């Protein structure tokens, strides 16, 4: 089995999964969060070096106040627990997105987690919080324009590598495989630059039910594909 170096996952279906069981949407988010811890273990055991997950988008603020408040409470709990997972898996954790919209205590927990895990190197784990790819690119281009205005950057010398250096994922290889759970067939503003040559797999399984067996099935399918980059076979 050919294991991807970098897997990205859109964690979809928590609310619908809970509703199908006659439970509130928040229950699905709690179960989905617990599943993320398990999948991190499985990912590391497979030898994957990079994992990026879409946990909360810039559009998710439009959800009901009750659901958003529940998610904020869950983030507080998870970011604290993630330190133990980071230590166990020697996992470096980075939050991508714009954390400035979160409450100060959540921003503090993000900084603490990133600082705590910065020297680990067995698994690089990126969590997208208040993330949208268009927002990421916009923020990056503002910084690039400012650097150009200050004479730090010559516009004629800008390359793809220059642009990548201004993104939230700077220094991290692009995903080889993108998985979206729960049957939706769209990207939803996630890593639009980075997944230019990623293999895409859409599974009908909701995120709380996505387990090691489902993960292996996705990697098996990835292994069977004829990987090409811009028409050149990998």
User: Which residues participate in catalysis according to the annotation?
Assistant: 12, 60
CB-CB contact of 38 with 89 (8 Å): no
Q: Which of 46, 31, 21 is nearest to 177 (CA)?
A: 46
Q: Which of 47, 49, 105, 113 is nearest to 86 (CA)?
A: 113
CB-CB contact of 194 with 174 (8 Å): yes
> Number of C-alpha atoms within 13 angstroms, CB side, residue 84?
6
Termini Cα distance of the chain: 16
Name the residue with tokens 């990912």.
Answer: 43
Strands (E) located in the chain: 6-10, 50-57, 91-96, 123-131, 177-180, 199-202, 228-229, 232-233
Angle between helices 104-117 and 65-89 (to 10 degrees): 20
């Amino acid at each position: 089995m050919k294991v991807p170096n970098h897997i990205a996952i859109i964690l979809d279906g928590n609310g619908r999964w809970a509703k199908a069981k006659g439970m509130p949407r928040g229950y699905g988010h709690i179960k989905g969060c617990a599943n993320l811890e398990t999948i991190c273990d499985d990912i590391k055991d497979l030898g994957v070096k990079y994992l990026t997950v879409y946990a909360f988008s810039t559009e998710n603020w439009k959800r009901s106040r009750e659901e958003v408040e529940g998610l904020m409470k869950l983030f507080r709990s998870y970011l604290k627990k993630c330190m133990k997972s980071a230590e166990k898996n020697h996992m470096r954790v980075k939050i991508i997105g714009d954390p400035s919209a979160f409450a100060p205590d959540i921003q503090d927990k993000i900084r603490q987690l990133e600082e705590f895990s910065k020297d680990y190197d067995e698994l690089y784990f990126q969590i997208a919080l208040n993330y949208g790819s268009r927002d990421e690119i916009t923020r990056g281009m503002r910084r690039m324009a400012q650097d150009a205005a200050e004479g730090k950057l010559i516009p004629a010398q800008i390359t793809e590598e220059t642009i990548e250096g201004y993104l939230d994922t700077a220094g991290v290889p692009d995903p080889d495989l993108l998985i979206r759970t729960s049957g939706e067939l769209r990207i939803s503003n996630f890593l639009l630059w980075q997944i230019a040559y990623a293999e895409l797999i859409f599974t009908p399984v909701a995120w709380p039910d996505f387990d090691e067996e489902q993960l292996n099935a996705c990697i098996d399918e990835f292994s069977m594909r004829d990987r090409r980059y811009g028409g050149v076979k990998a």
